[in-house]
Structure 1
Amino acid sequence: MSSGSRKEGVEWDEAAVELIVTASAGYPYFLRQFGQDIWNAASGPTITYDDARVGAANGRAALDSGFFRARWDRATKAEQNYFRAMAADGDKGRSSGEIAARLGRGPANFGPIRANLIAKGLVYAPGHGVIAFTVPGMAAFIKCQPN
Structure 2
Amino acid sequence: MHKSTDPAHPAPRRHGGVALISNERGDVLLVDPRYRAGWQLPGGHAMPGEDHLAAAVREVAEETGLVIAPTRVLAIDYVSATATSAEGLNVVFDGGTVPAGTPIGIQTDELDGCRWVPLDDLANYTVPEQAARIRRAHAVRAEGGGIPFLRRGQPVG
What TM-score results when the alignment is normalised by the length of structure 2? 0.24
Structure exhibiting the larger radius of gyration computed from Cα positions: 1
Q: Which has the higher contact order (CA 8 A, sep 6+)?
A: 2
Greater fraction helix:
1
Greater fraction strand:
2
What TM-score results when the alignment is normalised by the length of structure 1? 0.25
